[in-house]
Structure 1
């Protein structure tokens, strides 16, 4: 997915088992942020920064949607534990991470594995990708300011 591309209509299933569609957010800009894993330090810092600045993001016309390959149940726990005001897509079939090109080989301590690259896509009111904050650019503790 690149700047100028149209985002897919069906984004996936959220923590409540509901289908999330692009058209559900007509007239809003979407912050679609992909993160590696619920309950990990970086992902929690990022989610909490978005939570703490959620009112400002909404005021600026944004709706926040998080995506990871964790299950609905894992997302429910993550939302409850951190009091998150936005929905999380459970991309367990890896459909969305692959469509957006954020799934690939990573390495930690010399071990190679497949995972999600922390990436944020800003999608405009027409469903077009307007901006991409790449894995090297994402600041987990100050992510809302980067978006705004």
Structure 2
């Protein structure tokens, strides 16, 4: 079972392939806040809802200095299909080896339909401009999570 991150921890750097096979690293985003979210699988209902919610709010988040990176165990080819099918604008990266997920505490034992299984723990880690963990949220819900995140961060849309 991987250790969960806590506020103040240094966020583990990673370099993972995106939907186009290009390498995306956390360190390349230094100077901006980054929302790194972990989800079990592209093209499943909950993960699609979450990715669409992040895409729908990307402009608001970017306007407040946040970049968004979605991490799943999927290969770049599947991520590309997912992005095209759902018209996603968020950066999606694949971690088939699950090393980054383990480093972030987003892979391990979880409850699924009352059974204990090993898999991806739906999680969101907010990393500050210096690469430190600002918030680490585990076992988040796919539906409504982005709206709650925006409220919790005080990022209400202008004119709201």
User: If the length of structure 1 is used for normalisation, what is the TM-score?
Assistant: 0.89
In the TM superposition, structure 1's runs of 4+ consecutive aligned residues that sit over 3 Å from their partners are: 106-113
Distance in 1 (CA, whole Å) between partners of 2:117 and 2:138 is 19
Distance in 2 (CA, whole Å) between partners of 1:104 and 1:74 is 23
| Alignment partner of 1:145 out of 144, 147, 151 | 147
SS of structure 1 residue aligned to 2:40? coil
User: If the length of structure 2 is used for normalisation, what is the TM-score?
Assistant: 0.83
Distance in 2 (CA, whole Å) between partners of 1:128 and 1:144 is 21
| Alignment partner of 1:37 out of 31, 38, 41 | 41
Deviates more, 1:21-30 or 1:107-116: 107-116
109 and 147 in structure 1: CA distance in 2 versus 1, 3 angstrom threshold: closer
Distance in 2 (CA, whole Å) between partners of 1:131 and 1:24 is 20
User: Corresponding residue for 2:76?
Assistant: 72
Distance in 1 (CA, whole Å) between partners of 2:51 and 2:68 is 10
Q: Cα offset for 1:139?
A: 3.7
Distance in 1 (CA, whole Å) between partners of 2:73 and 2:132 is 23
Q: Cα offset for 1:104?
A: 1.2
Question: Over the residues paired in the alignment, what is the CA RMSD in angstroms?
Answer: 1.6
User: Corresponding residue for 2:153?
Assistant: none
Q: What stretches of structure 2 of length at least 5 have no aligned partner?
A: 151-160
User: Corresponding residue for 1:51?
Assistant: 55
Alignment of 1:70-109 (within 5 A): 70-109=74-113
SS of structure 2 residue aligned to 1:140? coil
User: Corresponding residue for 1:114?
Assistant: 118
User: Corresponding residue for 1:15?
Assistant: 19
User: Corresponding residue for 1:130?
Assistant: 134
Q: Cα offset for 1:109?
A: 4.2
